[in-house]
Structure 1
Amino acid sequence: MFYTYILIGVKCPKTYVGHTNDWERRLLKHNSGYGVFTKRYGPWKIIHKEEFLTEKESIKREKYFKSAAGRRWMKKNLFENARVAER
């Protein structure tokens, strides 16, 4: 299985989108300072993940989330819902 995931910084409102075949291991790598971007804005928590049968599908979804339409989807479905839940 392959996963597309969205992380959010615990201390700052930065997001990170990626894909992997082991999301738990990947989250640990991000939080241990692996990678320039994730090292700078971590620690991270996962706010969304989707499962796919092929890596190709996972990469396609990652590219979508990085597009303008994907960012709008994230804002509407993840961030606005989170604000409502906090009330």
Structure 2
Amino acid sequence: MELLFFVMAYWVYIPYSERLDKYYVGQTSDLVKRVERHNEGKGGFTRTGLPWVLIYSISCNSRGEAMVLEKKIKNLGAKKFLQILEDSRDV
């Protein structure tokens, strides 16, 4: 008997709106579809910032893990989080 299991990845992602000069932080199980929905204007805050350009994403093992990371990034601020990532790459 062969056991098969499906591991669903969740994503934490940061798109940027040049129009608003703002970042958005979210989490989803379907990254491509979610970014498409943002750019179709199917979202509250993101509707006003079209177009949104995905500038960062990271895969997480569970929705809970994604939610924790999303909250950490929001508390820190997306711009500061991205700067810390950039600084760590320069080392």
Using the size of structure 1 for normalisation, the TM-score is 0.79
**2:73 is the alignment partner of 1:65:** yes
| Residue 30 of structure 2 corresponds to residue 22 of structure 1 | yes
The structure with the larger Rg is 2
Question: 2:59 matched to 1:51?
Answer: yes
Aligned residues: 79
Instruction: Tell me which residue corresponds to 1:84.
Output: none
Aligned to 1:42: 50
* SS state at 2:25 partner: strand
How large is the Cα RMSD of the aligned pairs? 1.9
Which whole-Å CA distance do the structure 2 matches of 1:69 and 1:29 have between them? 23
Of Structure 1 and Structure 2, the greater helix share is in 1
How far the C-alpha of 1:69 sits from its partner, in A, is: 6.4
Unpaired runs of at least 5, structure 2: 1-8
Letter in 1 for 2:59: E
Give 5+ residue unaligned stretches, structure 1. 81-87
What's the TM-score once normalised by structure 2's chain length? 0.76
Percentage of identical aligned residues: 28
- CA–CA separation in structure 1 for the residues paired with 2:49 and 2:58: 23
